[in-house]
Structure formats: C-alpha cells, structure tokens
Amino acid sequence: MRRATADLPTLKGGAWMPLGIYLTVIAVLSALLIVFPGDSPPPILGMAWGVFLVVLVVGAFSIEGITPRSLFPSVRTLFPVILVLGAFWGLYNLVAFSLALGGVAGFEATWSRVAAHPVLYLGALLSSLLFTAIPEELVFRSYLQQKCIAIAGGKTRRAIAAGIVVAAVLFAGFHLPRWFLASGHGLSPALGGRLFGLTLMGLTYGIVYAISRNLWLVALIHATMNYPPVLVTMSVPPELHLVVGVIETAAIVSVVSLFVRATEPDGINAWRQREPAS
C-alpha cells in the first residue's frame, strides 16, 4: 500500500462532507426503492442511478478542490489493467476447469451461460461497468476511502488501513436498503453472512485501489465479480460462499500486488491516475 501514500490528493472539505455524501446516497436509494419496489427495477432507473452517483461525487470533489478530470486514469493504463484481469480470470477458469474434471461438487465440465451466450454476457458486463461499478467505485474508493484516509492522518499505514476498512463497512451498509426494501428480507442470520461477504468485497476493492490507485482496475474487477467470466458451469454451495470469497480476495490482491511490483521499478506511471489538480 506504499504507492497510495505517494500521491494522495489534498481534500479541502471538512469532515462532514463524507457523512453528508453517504447519507444522501442512502436516502435517495431508499426513496427510489420505495417508489419502485422489487428486485428488478426498470433499466432506465439503474442508468439514472449510476449517473446520479457520478454527478454527486464529482460535485463533492469540486467542493474539495479537486478537478473531475483528475479522478480518471489515463486510457493508456488500460493495457496493464487488462493484463491483470486476464491473469486473474485465466487462473480462475483454470482452477474451475480442473475442479470440474475432478468431479468436485458444484463444478461441471459443461459450457456456462457466459460461453454459450458471449454477446449477451458482454452487454450485461458493459452495463454493470458503466452504471454500477464505475459510479460505486468513484463514491466508495475514489472519494470516501481517500477522505477517510485523510481524516485518519493521511500517509501512515494505519490511516490507509482505517480508510479501507471504513469504506468497506460503508459499502456493505449501502446494500442494506436493497436487502430490506427491494428483496423484502428481514433480520436473520443470513443478513450477517451477507454483510460479511459485502464487507470482504469492499476490503478487496479498497486494497486494490490503495495498491494501484487506478479506477479502471478496481471498477473492472468489481464489474467482473458481479458477472464472473467463468466458462464452465459453476454453482458453489451456499455454505461455501464465504470460503470462496476469502480465496477470491486473496487471489485478487496477490495478482494485483505482483503486477504492480513488477511494473513499478521501470514504469511507475503505468498504474497511476492523473495527478489531482485544483
């Protein structure tokens, strides 16, 4: 996480800013779910929600004295990003295929829906990237995580760890309105498992962002975790979801760390986002 400490932006807004942004997100999301109940809202609503998150976080950064353009890495960084994604999902598919051939329960040596319908899959993945992953990562990693790091002290490892954890917990809490209002679930042991899994994913995205400082990378990981490009039929038993989640987290962080360490000596700018400017 040392790379993240080298170029943290100077955020000029007060400590009330992240709380206001987060409460606004939760309030608007809850209102939308009340007006449009159910697990499958109209697609246009999902698009509008993604645009709202982007506008909100761009406004927050403007108040903080950061130009919106500096939030997005150069398009040239997409090459190493694609290499990392290819390495991780290639390894993932190799393991899944090996388990399928070995007759492990939950894995079948047959083509998945991703392999059978690649065009439909790519459409769903692109939609998830543009209207879910990028907007959410702008809010939770680019803004809230960095703001929490700044509040906690800035360039210390403890501050970075605190920022990652707080943003991950907020990310898990962000999904509570969907649990209660959209899905109609109540308080149950399943809620604890759901929150733990979401916090784990939030920690994964947070660590990846702290290591690479690259929005494209963390957003693409987020989108592909929502729509995994697994080519064999895979159905993990519910009791193993958390175990698989821990393994996925360790694998993602390991692959990203190895790639960043390998490219840093000769090309530190291969990963870095644009320098924040006021």
**265 belongs to a structural domain:** yes
**121 belongs to a structural domain:** yes
Kindly report, residue by residue over 18-45, the tens digit of the pLDDT: 999 999 999 999 999 888 877 677 889 9
Q: Residue 232: beta bridge partners?
A: 111
**97 belongs to a structural domain:** yes
Residue range(s) defining the domain that contains residue 161: 2-270
pLDDT at residue 149 above 60? yes
Total structural domains in the chain? 1
Q: The pTM is what?
A: 0.90
pLDDT at residue 269 above 50? no
User: Which region, left, alpha or beta, applies to residue 193 given φ > 0 means left and ψ of -120 to 50 means alpha?
Assistant: alpha
**163 belongs to a structural domain:** yes
Residue 143 near residue 276, CB atoms below 8 Å: no
- Residue 62 Cα to chain centre, angstroms: 23
What is the chain's mean pLDDT, rounded?
A: 87
Measured distance CA(35)–CA(57) in Å, rounded: 24
Single out the residue of 46, 25, 51 nearest to residue 175, CA to CA.
25
Kindly report, residue by residue over 76-94, the tens digit of the pLDDT: 889 999 999 999 999 999 9
Kindly report, residue by residue over 226-256, the tens digit of the pLDDT: 999 999 998 888 888 888 899 999 999 999 9
**278 belongs to a structural domain:** no
**275 belongs to a structural domain:** no
pLDDT given for residue 154 in this prediction: 77
**276 belongs to a structural domain:** no
